[in-house]
Structure 1
């Protein structure tokens, strides 16, 4: 049965297959995003607007460590998808075993280092003034749960690579629902404040970890590894690292972006400006869930068919994914443009934040319709194992365009310059990605 699920990636009609893969991914991302969104609403209303800013300080540090698991998962899953497509089962097993060993070593070590340097990291990411105390409470507990989150991210990618999107969806829903229930109990009922928010999130990570562990041990997975598969294989580690580095570089840039944005906005407008960015950041995670779902659904389809040398199906999957993602991105764009004010009222009653956030949000989302091409284009190169172009295209938006723009534009336009950096970076990176994707299709996928 497990083998038939994997083979469906190479046989089922692409449009139907993409929907079957993308809908569970979208639902999972939606629930996870709603979790982050509602968690922010709870914190803003039950603890205060400054608490939203405090969480915004902690997340990039915690998520960078967790992104080690995601990077190992995405890099290894690309290998697994192509190995299953080519009938190389033993390589898939060795890859999964190496993923587990690498994730265990790196994430626990990084979390321990993060706890040692707590007092240095929080201020560096903008946790100053009234934000520092709340951020420190949240940070210490969250980092204890980050290794569990890293394993969840890694395992989720592997589950999707096997062609099991419903199990991957469940793995995203469980911690989200658990977090919201625990938020209500620990923050609202027991009045534990930031400590309650932190433990609610950490406990939800552990629940997700236990579910993924059950999936791989209960017979649902095609990957039945033995202890021998856990031994380090230099060639596999090198391949995982080269592909996973793309994801890690992306998250590193996200963390650097948070660092810059929190500090720049704190200097321009204090805690309120950091809170505005936190709200917009949550909406970026939430509103783009259908586009990200299409991207996640596209990855195993492209990887499997590339490994099986079914290049017409790879081209079809690219075109279909871009079409679906663009349509969904336009719907997201329209919703943000029309309902920005109503969205902000959900988060806080702070009058300054309510006044300034809607226009900032509209500017940030202005180029949303073109983001789909950039996401699918970069994902293609990662799915087919072409690490160098995947890495460069990942760096394009935030590394080559956004960070330089956010360092320059605020000097001339203040806070507005910060928000303008988002759509300009989106447009420029989409142009670059479109060029390289079109060249790749003409050179390597047009024949056969």
Structure 2
């Protein structure tokens, strides 16, 4: 077991690429679970914009579910990488078992809570009389697959942490292909509308969850999900929560931002602009997905080499991750600026949506390259187990910058809805610069340089 996927030997870049490429593909495919739904829903004849806006109003709930999946998945996986690097295999399996127990239990509780209060929650999120039927119908069915989401998303991190990037990619590939195939059948052929989109997603996520469990309990896994290890170990749970809190806060804060944006847009722009924001956040998910794949691919390499005390290789990994993220975000920024109509038409082709969406896109994605520094700094902290810094910068960007600006900027001059879109680029510049500078001086200059000597 100790000689397989040894990241302390060979080319650092090769290790990162071998993990990042399949993980990036996996992340892109994972995004398709919900993105494909919105693409099809945004083209339902006679109800496209209202249906798309309704699904957009349900997104904060979906994001909250992902937050809890990441709390225990991304919280436990880096600890597994560090333990495996130190050859502490029993500890690694105990961490994985604890994470699984928490994912399963939390998934059940979330299903019960959201199903009980979904209507008042959606009203609080800004649903109108026109959009509520679509939002309520979609989320009611989607919630039935909450446990599947928790297992497939949360436990897939432990497959990737063991160096099986291709297997992790297959986890989401299988489900996403099913979703892509089932969506048009349920939505259009069977005339189920948004209900069909939700049902296709639930079935697909269920198959993905079964795939994850089959691999982690099988002979190919280096660290197996064993029944004896599925009891929550409190000492591990504290570490998992501390480290996973960064990703959790990042997702929860995203959910809060989605809620605040929808409420503000309902006031300053109406349902149309909530639909525009749904399209823009969907495009952002597509753009940010390769960043997540790159940083997730580098994370096991950084964590393993840190556990193995190969500090020069840790610095090399961080440098390569940053350059790759920066190159991609510059290219993505150019694409959304040059071809805004093409991106918007993926989700909706109505003239009003294009008229409002193009200028909003130019504002929303301005200075996109700064996101590279946020991602690189943030995931370096997570990979090295520095949960306090990771949590702080998750909170800074969304809750301390975006939320206040979203509430204040629409009231400045005649910005109105444009003020809501402007909050995103401002937060990228402030938080991206602060996060990476802190990582450089705290981790690179102090922590790693001192230990190299």
Scaled by the length of structure 1, what TM-score is found?
0.97
Match of 1:445 among 433, 443, 448: 448
With 66-75 and 309-318 compared, the bigger mean Cα shift is at 66-75
1:261-410 maps to which residues of 2 (within 5 A)? 261-410=261-410
Q: Tell me how far 1:12 sits from its aligned partner.
A: 2.5
Q: Are 1:200 and 2:200 matched, yes or no?
A: yes
Output aligned runs, 1:416-435, within 5 Å: 416-435=418-437
* Aligned with 2:29 (options 28, 31, 54): 31
Deviation, 1:33, is 2.9
Decide whether the 8 Å contact of 2:30 with 2:172 is kept in 1.
yes
Q: What do the CA deviations read for 1:260-310 (whole angstroms, capped 9, x no partner)? A: 111111111211011000000100001232222111111111111111111
Establish whether residue 95 from structure 1 lines up as the match of residue 98 from structure 2.
Answer: no
* Cα distance change of structure 1 residues 63 and 5 upon mapping to structure 2, 3 Å threshold: farther
Q: What is the aligned partner in structure 2 of residue 177 from structure 1? A: 177
TM-superposed CA distance for 1:350, in Å, is 2.2
**CA displacement at 1:377 relative to structure 2:** 0.4
Shift of 1:235: 0.8
Distance in 1 of aligned mates of 2:94 and 2:133: 45
For the residues of structure 2 that align with 1:226 and 1:335, how far apart are their CA atoms? 46
CA pair 309-187 structure 1, distance change in 2 beyond 3 A: same
Corresponding residue SS for 1:446: helix
Contact conserved, 1:3 with 1:222, CA < 8 A, in 2?
A: no
1:16-70 deviation digits (Å, cap 9, x = unpaired): 1111111111111222334533321211112511111111111221231232122
More helix per residue: 1 or 2?
1
Select between 95-104 and 37-46 the one with higher mean Cα deviation: 37-46
Residue 128 of structure 1 corresponds to 128
Contact 1:21-1:298 within 8 A present in 2 as well: yes
SS in 1 for 2:78: helix
Alignment equivalent of 2:8, drawn from 7, 10, 16: 10
Distance in 1 between residues matched to 2:199 and 2:147, nearest whole Å:
15
Per the TM alignment, residue 135 of structure 1 is displaced from its structure 2 partner at its CA by: 0.8
Deviations 1:396-446 (A, max 9, x none): 211221111111111111111111111100000011112211112111111
1:22 matched to 2:24: no
Report the CA distance between 1:3 and its aligned residue. 4.3
The answer to whether the aligner puts 1:223 opposite 2:223 as a matched pair is yes
Q: CA deviation at 1:334?
A: 0.7
Query: Deviation at 1:226?
Result: 3.2
User: What stretches of structure 1 move > 4 A for 4+ residues in a row?
Assistant: none
Does 66-75 or 251-260 show the bigger shift? Answer: 66-75
Q: How many residues align?
A: 446
2-structure distance, mates of 1:316, 1:179: 39
- Unmatched runs of 5 consecutive residues or more in structure 1: none
The answer to which of 198-207 and 211-220 deviates more is 211-220
Q: Within 5 A, what are the aligned runs for 1:33-72? A: 33-46=31-44, 47-72=47-72
Give the match for residue 243 of structure 2: 243
CA positional deviation for 1:255: 0.9
**How far off is 1:199 after superposition?**
0.3
Q: Per the alignment, in what secondary structure is the counterpart of residue 324 of structure 1?
A: helix
What's the offset of the Cα at 1:5? 3.6
Distance in 2, Cα, partners of 1:177 & 1:261? 31
- More displaced 10-residue stretch of structure 1: 220-229 or 275-284: 220-229
Q: Is the 1:65–1:111 Cα contact (8 Å) retained in structure 2?
A: no
State how far apart, in whole Å, the 2-side matches of 1:239 and 1:343 are.
41
Secondary structure at the aligned position of 1:347 is classed as: coil
d(CA) in 1 for partners of 2:37 and 2:206?
A: 17
Does the CA-based 8 Å contact 1:66-1:147 persist in structure 2?
no
Query: Which deviates more, 35-44 or 106-115?
Result: 35-44
Q: Deviations over 1:99-126 (max 9, x none)?
A: 1111111121121111111221111122
Distance 1:333 1:119 in 2: 37
Cα 1:331/1:5, change in 2 over 3 Å: farther
What's the CA shift for 1:6? Answer: 3.0
Deviation of 1:251 after TM superposition, in Å, equals 1.1
Q: Report Cα offsets for 1:128-161 as digits up to 9, x if no partner.
A: 2211111111111101101110111111111111
